């Protein structure tokens, strides 16, 4: 992140005055050289600010300072020296023997071209001119000397301090300037207050409120969902990258902005608490006033932490004061939303409130953000119920993050937490935020938590062993494992197991109900008032869950009620349902003081401890009392209203869980009607999936089967396959909760049409529902039952699960593999041929011909092992420091192979043929080859030595030729007198010649004429596209067209695919628009080949050189048509039409795009959703988001009033 202009980021010299900077320089000199003479500042100094004398020898120091960023620091310093020329000459005459210029200006270090090297050259000239050695201490030199100076010296110039130094100054300095003393008092007060708020677990109903956070914290694991700027570039069927523990990751990550997604109860807020406590512990003194465990890890970079509840921020944006104790009835008058809603303004009020009322200003906030390393946790984006408020808040968060990037020197860290987003609601920009997702608890984490929980409750000895045995036994049941896969539900399970032993429910709603009943039983036994008013207490608590949840949605409240408002809500309810109003005091006390449902986290207010509890009670109230006074009330109308509202989605799960067996069919009908209406396609399907996973329909097999039917259509397959990968927390359907039925339904669809565009998505879902052995048995039966083209389709289907490795040798012999496409499919599926068999030779040849370069290399055949070592993606990946083969995911395979897997593959190959020893050496950077193209060229040569010239070797060599010359010098073995093309092609020479002849049209023309065999022509074409200059490509487009016309379709498609890979990698230089226009004039496919290397990889371009018809025509090249598909998508967004939509359709469902946003509703959105198998996934997702965003729902409270659900 950039710092203040003119700053390198270590110290803020521009905040000092010119005199202060000179005093700082003098102090540094005096610290290093006690004999230094420092002259008074502000006086006429005759060109010397300090002099160091040793005998008759003197060294002169002159200070030059500026507070402004400089366009040309070299010119400024040069002018400064020229301005001192007369004084320098006089000083030399007086005996000066060395001259130092000390400056606050930041230099650049690029060898020969940076300002530091350039000034050194000028100083050599001045040294010769003045007859004295001259040197310059740049900002980095001053930084280094300040680093080495004692703290007392730094603190004298506290205005320049930033980062950890600024924090140390506030903590440790004996005397501070008045302004900094005020800031220190404020910040330490805020840290102390938030330490107190976060030191305990926030879940009192499970008897955890008395326990320290650190006693029970487990580091829930996370996966990376998207990287900044690459959201939507990850294929929906790729696995997310495992990150380990979320806390450990966020304490060490270099990425400053992170969105953390997690299911209800997964521990998002606890994670935020823990992160902040770790950083607070580094700053707060351990003086006996700080409660809680101090044994927290020490962060490598301590940050000043602030944790903000976004529901409070939402209330503040709406005009409320979330920090006030004043009782306000939100219904009395409409509050006006704030015009100025920036997070800096909110932070000023937040700091004032959390510091005990000290004054905090926006200027103070900006100063803190500038100077201090910050951690800002924005917790609970999902708790912003109003869509407009959430959208505005996200906009403010994005703008805040952008300002941090410009106005801070310490790379602040911002962490935003939220639930998974199934409704296209606003989230921080994925261009700047990394997205990670908390995962289900692993068995080891469940065990760790059990032990911590038992220790916290002093459960030891036999009781502990009984609890652990009960947990192990019940955890063998899939439903219990599902309940135990997040910390909150695991806490409830352990609580119930402790109280009731083996007798714990296996369904989610029942779990919460049993937990509440058990808890209330205990309270009733201790408190007669609770026992006496138990029925009323449960009813009022359920009402408060509904009331607070509704207020959050309809009035933008933060889930809290002031004391007076809570009493009034209870009174109003009792009066409305004609119960005794004099029960108010008793029920208020029971609801709050008796440790029942509500707690006071902020003085003067009450709220439910955790949001899932509020949602549970809201669902309970809806189940028990909605329609109580309406004859033949249809409960399914409530479910319909719930599932179409994002804020009520978790409530809908609890609500459906209360249903009796004779109500289940009505719930399925309600879901079916919602699906037919198409208001929120993904959310309703996800709701149906969740209800199945929760076991809502398991009591009625037929009803459950009908529910499964709802999510087996094409649109469900596309949306759910994407969700299961993008949201790691989506629960898997247990076999007896619809999982087996859905798997069988999808397998029926696969058997009916294995060539379907949705085959791989159907397989992806089945993989989640059935074990590999079951799937493989079914797959083999279908494989051998079909023949011809359908058998090829089954082989292709089996590739994603590597099913071919399980086919026995006698089964391999039965396969019909006469066609080349069948051999390629066999390689992809992992078919294992007999050693030395004709099939093995054909599979190897298919790999060498480049036909299998998009295969993973399943199994351990020679063909598979060659792919593990030599597939183009691996050689592209080696060119990048981040080890990603492609700068944009357009659909090409980018699956890293572990080092151990590659070593094993190489060992097998060497056992078959000793010549693979040479390939092993060639793949490495050997002695003297670092920073050269040797591994690429020598690998291509080694492959050619074993198998002869082939496309795979040629492509590897051309990748090497495309490497950036500023990072990789040309270096490769070459056979003297060899040729780059032809029957004896030397691929080392090919690599060298491409690099040496980039701009020589005569070389390209000569080689085109000299070598007319198909492999040479295809190699020449790819080399031209990847390596030649604009002028050379332009002059050879007609030859490129000749290649396109004369090559076989198979070889030409292979070349197009290779060109696409190189273009998507971002490795090649970009060709000019004029070259692209000339290519398009020849033919659409020539235009496509040029477009691979002419369009920006990072963002889609419209490609106006193409007609819409031409962009659609190249859709037949599949993944390789990505520039055209991107262009069509840009046109569809800007000016939608049937013609453009048909062009997108021509590219097919498997094509990959970056994330899209349709700015406004069109008549085509519903058409895409009606034919989801015809369009790329991103267009299906974009249409679904557009439809969902336009749905617009009135608050549920209003629906309830309009339909007279309650008589209140």
pLDDT tens across 47-58, in order? 889 999 877 789
What's the confidence (pLDDT) of residue 408? 59
What's the confidence (pLDDT) of residue 332? 52
Among 200-209, 464-473, 699-708, 919-928, the least confident range? 200-209
What's the confidence (pLDDT) of residue 177? 61
What's the confidence (pLDDT) of residue 3? 38
Among 16-25, 125-134, 231-240, 795-804, the least confident range? 231-240
What's the confidence (pLDDT) of residue 175? 56
Place 637 in a pLDDT band, splitting at 50, 70 and 90: very high
The domain made up of 178-198+219-439 has a fold known as Rossmann fold (3.40.50)
Across residues 739-750, what is the average pLDDT? 97
Distance, in Å, from the CA atom of 490 to the CA atom of 493, rounded to the nearest integer, reads 5
Q: What are phi and psi of 342, to 5 degrees?
A: -65, 150
Q: Average pLDDT over the chain, rounded to whole?
A: 88
Across residues 143-172, what is the average pLDDT? 80
Per residue in 888-903, pLDDT tens?
889 999 888 888 999 9
Q: Over 50: is that where the pLDDT of 130 sits?
A: yes
In the chain, pLDDT over 70 holds for what percent of residues? 93
What's the confidence (pLDDT) of residue 6? 42
**Cβ–Cβ contacts within 10 Å for residue 780, how many?**
18
How far is it between the farthest Cα atoms of the chain? 110
Q: Assign 985 to helix, strand or coil.
A: coil
Same fold, 13-160 and 178-198+219-439: no
CA distances, 296 to each of 824, 865, 1114 (Å) = 55, 47, 59
Distance, in Å, from the CA atom of 534 to the CA atom of 536, rounded to the nearest integer, reads 5
What's the confidence (pLDDT) of residue 207? 54
Q: Over 70: is that where the pLDDT of 406 sits?
A: no
Per residue in 663-711, pLDDT tens?
999 999 999 999 999 989 999 999 999 999 999 999 999 999 999 999 9
- Its pTM stands at 0.78
What's the confidence (pLDDT) of residue 264? 83
Distance, in Å, from the CA atom of 195 to the CA atom of 213, rounded to the nearest integer, reads 11
Separate counts of helices (H) and strands (E) for the chain: 58, 15
What's the confidence (pLDDT) of residue 230? 59
Place 596 in a pLDDT band, splitting at 50, 70 and 90: low
What's the confidence (pLDDT) of residue 923? 92
Q: DSSP secondary-structure letter at 232?
A: T
Q: Assign 308 to helix, strand or coil.
A: strand
Distance, in Å, from the CA atom of 454 to the CA atom of 18, rounded to the nearest integer, reads 63
Contact 36, 30 (CB under 8 A): yes
What's the confidence (pLDDT) of residue 108? 84
Across residues 826-855, what is the average pLDDT? 94
Across residues 118-130, what is the average pLDDT? 90
What's the confidence (pLDDT) of residue 387? 84
In the chain, where the domains are located: 13-160, 178-198+219-439, 444-525, 1099-1192
What's the confidence (pLDDT) of residue 728? 75
Which comes out higher in pLDDT, residue 445 or 106?
445
What's the confidence (pLDDT) of residue 418? 93
Per residue in 1012-1045, pLDDT tens?
999 999 999 999 999 999 999 999 999 999 999 9
Q: What strands lie across the sheet with 257-261, from one edge to the other?
A: 241-245, 221-226, 434-438, 257-261, 413-418, 374-379, 304-309
Distance, in Å, from the CA atom of 469 to the CA atom of 471, rounded to the nearest integer, reads 5
Distance, in Å, from the CA atom of 156 to the CA atom of 490, rounded to the nearest integer, reads 54
Per residue in 3-14, pLDDT tens?
333 445 578 888
Among 139-143, 211-215, 508-512, 1089-1093, the least confident range? 211-215
What's the confidence (pLDDT) of residue 554? 83
Place 562 in a pLDDT band, splitting at 50, 70 and 90: confident
What's the confidence (pLDDT) of residue 281? 87
Q: Over 90: is that where the pLDDT of 842 sits?
A: yes
Which comes out higher in pLDDT, residue 837 or 296?
837
Q: Over 80: is that where the pLDDT of 202 sits?
A: no
HSE value, Cβ hemisphere, 13 Å, CA-based, for 963: 27
Which comes out higher in pLDDT, residue 456 or 1?
456
CA angle at residue 529 from 527 to 530, to 5 degrees?
70
What's the confidence (pLDDT) of residue 786? 84
Distance, in Å, from the CA atom of 116 to the CA atom of 177, rounded to the nearest integer, reads 36
Place 1190 in a pLDDT band, splitting at 50, 70 and 90: confident
Distance, in Å, from the CA atom of 857 to the CA atom of 867, rounded to the nearest integer, reads 5
CATH number for the segment(s) 13-160: 3.40.91
What's the confidence (pLDDT) of residue 322? 87
What's the confidence (pLDDT) of residue 236? 41
In the chain, pLDDT over 90 holds for what percent of residues? 56
Q: Over 50: is that where the pLDDT of 1 sits?
A: no
What's the confidence (pLDDT) of residue 333? 55
Buried b (16+ CB within 10 A) or exposed e, 693-708: bbbbbbebeebbebbb
Q: Which of 545, 552, 553 is nearest to 569 (CA)?
A: 545
């Amino acid at each position: 992140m950039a710092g203040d202009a003119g700053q390198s980021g270590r110290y803020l010299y521009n905040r000092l005055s010119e005199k202060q900077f000179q005093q700082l320089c003098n102090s540094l000199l005096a610290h290093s050289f006690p004999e230094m003479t420092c002259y008074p500042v502000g006086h006429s100094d005759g060109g010397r600010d300090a002099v160091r004398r040793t005998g008759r020898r003197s060294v002169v120091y002159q200070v030059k300072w500026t507070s402004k960023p400089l366009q040309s620091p070299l010119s400024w310093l040069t002018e400064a020296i020229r301005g001192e020329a007369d004084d320098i000459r006089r000083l030399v005459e007086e005996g000066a023997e060395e001259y130092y210029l000390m400056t606050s200006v930041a230099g650049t270090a690029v060898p020969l071209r940076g300002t530091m090297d350039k000034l050194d050259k000028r100083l050599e000239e001045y040294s010769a001119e003045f007859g004295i050695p001259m040197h310059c201490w740049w900002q980095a030199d001053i930084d280094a000397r300040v680093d080495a100076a004692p703290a007392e010296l730094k603190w004298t110039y506290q205005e320049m301090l930033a980062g950890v130094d600024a924090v140390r100054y506030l903590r440790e300095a004996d005397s501070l300037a008045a302004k900094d003393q005020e800031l220190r008092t404020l910040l330490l007060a805020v840290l102390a207050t938030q330490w107190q708020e976060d030191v305990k677990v926030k879940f009192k109903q499970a008897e955890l409120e008395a326990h320290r956070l650190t006693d029970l914290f487990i580091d829930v694991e996370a996966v990376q969902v998207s990287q900044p700027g690459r959201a939507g570039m990850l294929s929906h069927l790729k696995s997310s990258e495992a990150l380990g523990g979320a806390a450990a990751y966020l304490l060490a990550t270099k990425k400053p902005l992170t969105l953390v997604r997690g299911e209800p109860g997964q521990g998002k807020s606890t994670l935020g608490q823990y992160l902040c406590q770790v950083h607070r512990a580094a700053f707060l003194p351990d003086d006996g006033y700080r409660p809680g465990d101090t044994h927290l890890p020490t962060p490598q970079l301590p940050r000043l932490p602030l944790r903000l509840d976004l529901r409070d921020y939402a209330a503040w944006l709406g005009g409320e004061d979330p920090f006030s104790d004043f009782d306000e009835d939100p219904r009395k008058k409409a509050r006006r939303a704030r015009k100025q809603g920036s997070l800096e303004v909110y932070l000023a009020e937040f700091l004032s409130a959390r510091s005990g009322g000290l004054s905090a200003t926006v200027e103070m906030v900006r100063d803190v953000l500038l100077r201090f390393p910050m951690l800002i946790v924005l917790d609970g984006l999902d708790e912003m119920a109003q869509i407009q408020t959430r959208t505005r808040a996200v906009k403010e968060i994005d703008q805040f993050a952008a300002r941090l990037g410009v106005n801070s020197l310490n790379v602040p860290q911002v962490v935003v937490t939220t639930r998974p987003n199934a409704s296209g609601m606003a989230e921080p920009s994925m261009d700047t935020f990394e997205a990670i997702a908390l995962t289900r608890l692993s068995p080891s984490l469940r065990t760790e938590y059990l032990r911590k929980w038992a220790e916290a409750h002093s459960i030891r000895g036999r009781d502990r062993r009984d609890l652990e045995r009960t947990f192990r036994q019940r955890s063998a049941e899939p439903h219990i494992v599902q309940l135990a896969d997040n910390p909150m539900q695991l806490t409830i399970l352990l609580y119930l197991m402790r109280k009731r032993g083996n007798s714990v429910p296996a369904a989610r709603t029942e779990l919460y109900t049993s937990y509440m009943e058990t808890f209330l039983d205990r309270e009733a036994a201790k408190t007669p008032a609770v026992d006496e008013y138990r029925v009323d207490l449960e009813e009022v608590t359920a009402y408060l869950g509904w009331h607070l949840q509704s207020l959050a949605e309809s009035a933008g409240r933060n889930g809290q009620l002031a004391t007076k408002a809570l009493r009034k809500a209870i009174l109003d309810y009792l009066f409305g349902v004609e119960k005794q109003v004099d029960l108010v005091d008793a029920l208020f006390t029971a609801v709050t003081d008796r440790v029942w449902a509500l707690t006071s986290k902020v003085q003067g207010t009450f709220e439910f401890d955790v949001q899932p509890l509020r949602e549970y009670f809201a669902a309970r109230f809806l189940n028990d009392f909605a329609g109580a006074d309406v004859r033949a009330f249809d409960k399914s109308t409530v479910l319909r209203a719930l599932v179409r509202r994002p804020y009520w989605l978790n409530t809908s799960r609890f609500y459906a869980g209360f249903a009796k067996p004779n109500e289940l069919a009505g719930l399925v009908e309600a879901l079916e009607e919602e699906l037919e209406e198409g208001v929120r396609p993904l959310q309703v399907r996800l709701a149906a999936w969740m209800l199945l996973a929760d076991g809502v329909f398991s009591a009625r097999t037929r009803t459950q089967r009908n529910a499964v039917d709802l999510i087996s259509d094409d649109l469900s397959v596309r949306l759910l396959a994407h969700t299961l990968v993008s949201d790691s927390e989506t629960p898997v359907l247990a076999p007896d909760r619809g999982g087996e039925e859905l798997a069988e339904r999808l397998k029926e669809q696969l058997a009916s049409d294995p060539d379907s565009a949705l085959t791989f998505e159907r397989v992806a879902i089945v993989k989640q529902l059935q074990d590999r052995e079951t799937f493989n048995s079914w797959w083999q039966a279908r494989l051998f039952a079909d023949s011809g083209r359908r058998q090829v389709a089954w082989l292709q289907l089996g590739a994603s699960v590597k099913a071919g490795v399980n086919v026995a040798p006698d089964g391999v012999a039965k396969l019909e593999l006469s066609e080349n496409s069948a051999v390629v499919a066999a390689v992809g599926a992992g078919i294992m041929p007999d050693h030395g068999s004709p099939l093995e030779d054909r599979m190897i040849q298919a790999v060498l011909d480049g036909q299998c370069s998009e295969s993973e290399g399943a199994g351990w055949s020679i063909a598979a092992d060659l792919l593990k070592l030599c597939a183009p993606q691996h050689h592209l990946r080696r060119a990048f420091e981040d080890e990603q083969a492609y700068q944009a995911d357009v659909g090409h395979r980018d699956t890293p192979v572990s080092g151990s897997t590659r070593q094993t593959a190489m060992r097998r190959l060497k056992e078959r043929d000793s010549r693979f020893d040479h390939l092993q050496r060639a793949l490495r950077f050997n002695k003297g080859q670092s920073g050269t193209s040797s591994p690429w060229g020598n690998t291509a040569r080694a492959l050619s030595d074993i198998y002869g010239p082939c496309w795979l070797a040629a492509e590897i060599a051309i990748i090497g030729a495309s490497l950036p010359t500023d990072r990789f010098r040309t270096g490769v073995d070459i056979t003297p007198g060899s040729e780059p093309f032809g029957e004896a092609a030397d691929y080392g020479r090919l690599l060298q010649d491409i690099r040496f002849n980039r701009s020589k049209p005569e070389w390209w023309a000569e080689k085109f004429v000299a070598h007319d065999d198909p492999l040479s022509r295809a190699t020449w074409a790819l080399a031209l596209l990847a390596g030649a200059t604009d002028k050379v490509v332009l002059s050879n487009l007609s030859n490129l067209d000749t290649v396109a016309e004369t090559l076989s379709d198979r070889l030409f498609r292979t070349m197009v695919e290779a060109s696409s890979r190189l273009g998507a990698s971002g490795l090649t230089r970009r060709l000019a628009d004029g070259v692209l226009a000339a290519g398009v004039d020849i033919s659409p496919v020539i235009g496509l080949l040029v477009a691979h290397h002419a369009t920006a990889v990072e963002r889609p371009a419209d490609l106006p050189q193409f007609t819409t018809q031409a962009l659609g025509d190249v859709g037949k090249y599949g993944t390789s048509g990505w520039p055209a598909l991107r262009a069509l998508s840009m046109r569809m967004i800007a000016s939608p039409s049937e013609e453009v939509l048909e062009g997108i359709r021509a590219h097919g469902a498997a094509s990959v795009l970056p994330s899209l946003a349709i700015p406004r509703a069109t008549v085509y959105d519903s058409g895409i959703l009606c034919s989801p198998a015809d369009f790329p996934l991103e267009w299906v997702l974009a249409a679904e988001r557009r439809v969902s965003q336009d749905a617009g729902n009135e608050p549920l409270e209003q629906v309830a009033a309009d339909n007279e659900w309650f008589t209140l």
